[in-house]
Amino acid sequence: MKNFVITREQLANLASKLLGENWTVISPSQNGSKYLKIKDAKDLIIDSALKPTDISMKEHFFPKSETLFFFKRKKDDYELIDAPGSEAKTVIFGAKPCDASAIPVLSKVFNWDYKDEFFNKRVENTVIIGLACKFEDENCFCTSVGLSPLAENGSDIFLIPLSDDKYFMKPITDKGRDFIAANETFISEADNISEPINDFSTPQKRFSTENVKEWLDKNFESKFWFNAGETCIGCAQCAYVCPTCHCFDIVDEDCYSCGRRVKNWDSCQFELFTKHASGHNPREIQGKRYRQRVSHKFKYYKDRFDELLCTGCGRCTRGCPVSIDIGLILEDINSHFLETINVNN
Amino acid sequence: MKQLIEISKELLESRKAGYIIGYTEDKFHRTKPFIAHTTNDAEKLTFNQKAVHNLAVYLTRLPKPKEGKIGIVAKGCDIKAIIGLIQENQIKRDDIIIIGMNCNGVVKDINIDYNKENSQMKCSICELRTPKHANYIVGALEDFAKSELTKNILAEFEALSAEERWKFWEKEFEKCIKCYACRQACPLCYCEQCIVEKSMPQWIDSSPTTKGNFAWNIIRAFHLSGRCIGCNECERACPVNIPLSLLNRKMGMVAMKEFNYRHGIEPDQPTLIGNYNTSDKEDFIM
Amino acid sequence: MNIYKPELVEIKDIIVETPDIKTFRLQFKDPQLQNNFTFKAGQFAEYSVFGEGECTFCIASSPTRLEFLECSFKMYGKVTNALNRLKVGDTMGLRGPYGNYFPVEEMKGKNVVFIAGGIGLAPVRCAIWNVFDMRSEFKDVTIIYGARTVADLVYKHEIEEWKSMKDVKTIITVDPGGETSDWKGEIGFVPTIVEKVAPQSDNSVAIICGPPIMIKYTLPVMLKLGFKEENILTTLENRMKCGLGKCGRCNIGSVYVCKDGPVFSYLQLKELPEDF
């Protein structure tokens, strides 16, 4: 398998060339808030030590608001007009493993029997260039969910820094190989250089997701949830910044004679999310809503799709106004599970 | 923190308080809100310069205790929210026990330790370091490094032309993702059905388009006019860093200038919008 | 292919069932779609009022009668109130069919008991006509239906038709106090009447739909009568949006009402966490 090397300067030149060819070029933003569409190659940020952006990369595949179709009234009849959708060729430079790996995970639900072409088209048209990660803080836990700073899941091409301005470039998918071939003037072959994986530490696992799932399988009614979600103010930030949360709302807008139907981000943390028209709400207290969040990510998605709906990026904790730490809660669940085994033994 | 823990334990044990809303520190040294239900829980209560959260937000969100009152640990500025809620008949003074904390300034960013740069602007001009209206006053007052009021941001902003200000807000509201964190973090946003949740008719678009975002943020500023107590939790909670305090402070200044009113000062003071006074200005009515 | 885009349907007829319940008779605007559309009894669809939104109801007509598609709805909120304002000739949207269905094939050769309350008769009605259109393949058929008052009974004209059928036992009841002076049917809550009628449980399947409280009290009666848990079927209602398993709203634990339901047996219901 051929590998390649690319310098920081060449990456910037590549970005310039793609911008000139009307590609959409995305990289983490200067202020660390999101993955931004850049207009100039000098805004390209490729930095292994970067903290995960405040908001995840998912908005480029699953936008915060997406028109599904337009409708126009003609007397008693209606005309439905397809929304243009996204055809733009896109490349994302410097995607963190905890962001890139979310895309194949989301693909499972968006292709469950019915295929969401809005999502699929964006995935098809985007080349994700992942970047090995040198950041670690108390909020992230990628190794506990089966990922690592060198995880290649979801990336079409993976970059590992060899030095401050040189990167080992690994093609991962056919799309990545084709992209490299089409841009070979900017890229050199790796020859005798081997993958510099020894420069990367593997953060310690904080809990076992098998243990967590086993506990979740049996403890739906536990008082644990009442305490875990007690201080949650229901602001739903955790869902909106998360790379894998995908709940959405569908609403009609504008007016009867001409308007559109639109898909917007939503969250199970809102009180109204599950409220029936009759007024009955199965998840009327925040503890139950918090239980839904953790269970969906570590049990239900695993039951349906054999994947965890979490990449351990830690954004939800960093952004939470009341510092609810899902990592600590999962550690707690892990301990509870181990206690029950000890008791039974 | 011994005094805080002693008082809390006594309140819980004697069942004078059903639970106490306070702060705790987790194993990563994050200070965060915490509800103490038992004397064991009370051991975990703490207070420090990272206790920026306005705990009054829980007074309208948690269920009432089966027995006893609600205890709440509060800084002088937080108590303004509590007084505001009492003025608006959302809670009774008799139903809560306020454990007031002598305050030495709080952080802007809860992930970094306190220092001059990481300090709330409101702390530099605070006159409530020793809280008013509290049942207990706990903790010691110490000198602390204040952030410098290098400029009056609001005045600078107001000096811009209307067109420039509009462009500024267009750029800011484009970022809004309608997560409603600003509303959820606000102690005075307690409506059981928020105006955005009203669907018949849908007054405010729920989509995060510029139009819907403008409508939401401006309506919220209007609904908080004469009611915002300036805790800045909305701005802290916002995941996309929209400078919401500019809007709320502006409305607060209008309330002060036109009606000489500030919310959350005295519990029996009539509220601004909720009261009619024959001497009220009518020059804006045709 | 845009999975979120509905097909256009025209309202061909509106029947006012009760002061707050209407039945719409719909046809696809595209005749070819109308000819090719099939579904199974128990499945649901998403009905659109453009400009207001979408609403989830079962398809209340039988798959054996495909000239029209019918849906019945009660006025609860934004979209249902908008539906109420529509007239014959207006255009709506329809997306579907989604979900699972009543196991009508497996029910052949057995006794079938239909039990419904209020608007819960709508999802059951599609199965009733489905069974009647293949009557000889089923054994005894019993219908027990009740509503709060006489005015709240739905499909009143069809009830009369069922009552006149010789090979069907039809018992209609209203809640105590809901009867009119000339009411000739039963008076009593549905669970009480079920216990009184005591349909035989041997080689029988029961389909029960209605308000949660009716189901709660009818289930123990069915078990007492000897019905097996896997032979008691119901449809679950939960807050739904996309109908496609993606928006994350309708899940009860790992079970999605729009994909694994809306038809569930009591045996399956027992396994579900209390999340609905």
Q: How far does the CA of residue A241 sit from the closest CA of chain B (Å)?
A: 8
What is the Cα–Cα distance from B17 to B24, expressed in whole angstroms?
18
Q: Between A209-218 and A326-344, two packed helices, what is the crossing angle to 10 degrees?
A: 70
Rounded mean pLDDT of A55-60? 94
Structure tokens at C105: 């094939």
Would you state the pLDDT for residue B286? 62
Using a CB–CB cutoff of 8 Å, tell me whether A259 touches chain B. Answer: no
Return the closest-CA partner of residue C114 out of C135, C131, C134.
C131
DSSP state, residue A186: G
ipTM of predicted complex = 0.90
Would you state the pLDDT for residue C237? 81
Give residue limits of the domains in chain C.
Answer: 7-98, 104-235
Using a CB–CB cutoff of 8 Å, tell me whether C77 touches chain B. Answer: yes
The reply to whether A33 falls in a domain is: yes
Q: Decide: residue B150, CB within 10 A, 0-12 exposed, 13-18 middle, 19+ buried.
A: exposed
DSSP string, B71-129: EEEE-HHHHHHHHHHHHTTSS-GGGEEEEEE------SSTTS---SSSS-HHHHT-S-S
Report how many Cβ contacts below 8 Å link chain B to chain C.
6
Would you state the pLDDT for residue A76? 80
Q: How far is CA A45 from CA A7, A173, C168, in A?
A: 13, 23, 75
Q: Could you tell me which chains touch chain C, where touching means 3 or more CB pairs under 8 A?
A: A, B
* pLDDT > 70? residue A328: yes
Cβ-defined contacts of A300-307 (< 8 Å, 24+) = A300/C251, A300/C253, A300/C254, A301/A105, A301/A108, A301/A109, A302/A213, A303/C254, A304/A112, A304/C254, A304/C256, A305/A105, A305/A108, A305/A109, A305/A112, A307/A105, A307/A108
The reply to whether A90 falls in a domain is: yes
What is the Cα–Cα distance from A65 to B209, expressed in whole angstroms?
7
Q: Which CATH superfamily is domain C7-98 in?
A: Translation factors (2.40.30.10)
> How does residue A345 score in pLDDT terms, banded at 50, 70 and 90?
low
Rounded mean pLDDT of A127-146? 94
Indicate whether A296 and A186 sit together in one domain. Answer: no
DSSP state, residue B41: H
Q: pLDDT (tens digit, 9 = 90+) per residue, C216-242?
A: 899 999 999 999 999 999 998 888 899
CB-CB neighbors (< 8 A) of C275 in chain A: 220, 282-283, 288, 292
CB-CB neighbors (< 8 A) of A230 in chain B: 35, 62
> How does residue A81 score in pLDDT terms, banded at 50, 70 and 90?
very high
What is the Cα–Cα distance from B11 to B7, expressed in whole angstroms?
6
Indicate whether A27 and A175 sit together in one domain. Answer: yes
Q: Which of A199, A220, A253 is the last residue of a domain?
A: A199
Average pLDDT, chain B: 91
Would you state the pLDDT for residue B234? 94
Percent of chain A residues past pLDDT 90, beyond the cut: 79
What is the Cα–Cα distance from C60 to C24, expressed in whole angstroms?
10
CB-CB neighbors (< 8 A) of A268 in chain C: 248-249
* A231–B33 C-beta distance less than 8 A: yes
Range of the domain at A263: 209-344
Determine which helix (DSSP H) or strand (DSSP E) holds B68, and give its type and residue range.
none
Would you state the pLDDT for residue B91? 95
In order along chain B (286 residues), what is the average pLDDT of each group of 10 residues? 93 95 94 95 94 95 92 95 96 96 91 87 87 93 77 81 94 92 95 89 87 92 93 92 91 89 92 83 72
Q: Which residues of chain C have pLDDT under 50?
A: none
Average pLDDT, chain A: 92
Tell me the CATH number for domain C104-235: 3.40.50.80
Nearest to C249 among A77, A247, A255 (CB): A247
Q: How far is CA A176 from CA A89, A179, A182, B241, in A?
A: 13, 5, 10, 35
Return the closest-CA partner of residue B121 out of B231, B228, B226, B248.
B231
Q: pLDDT (tens digit, 9 = 90+) per residue, A138-178?
A: 999 999 999 999 999 999 999 999 988 999 999 999 999 99
Structural domain total, chain A: 2
* A300–C254 C-beta distance less than 8 A: yes
Would you state the pLDDT for residue A60? 95
Residues 6+ apart with CB under 8 A from B212: B178, B204, B205, B206
Is the bond preceding C176 in cis, omega lying within 30 degrees of 0? no
Global confidence as pTM: 0.92
The pairing of beta strand C44-49 with beta strand C91-98: antiparallel
What is the Cα–Cα distance from C239 to C256, expressed in whole angstroms?
11
Would you state the pLDDT for residue A343? 73
Radius of gyration of chain A (CA): 22
What is the Cα–Cα distance from B210 to A296, expressed in whole angstroms?
31
CB-CB neighbors (< 8 A) of B202 in chain C: 78
Q: How far does the CA of residue B93 sit from the closest CA of chain A (Å)?
A: 22
* pLDDT > 80? residue A85: no
DSSP state, residue A300: I
Query: What sign results for the dihedral spanned by CA atoms B190, B194, B197, B199?
Result: positive
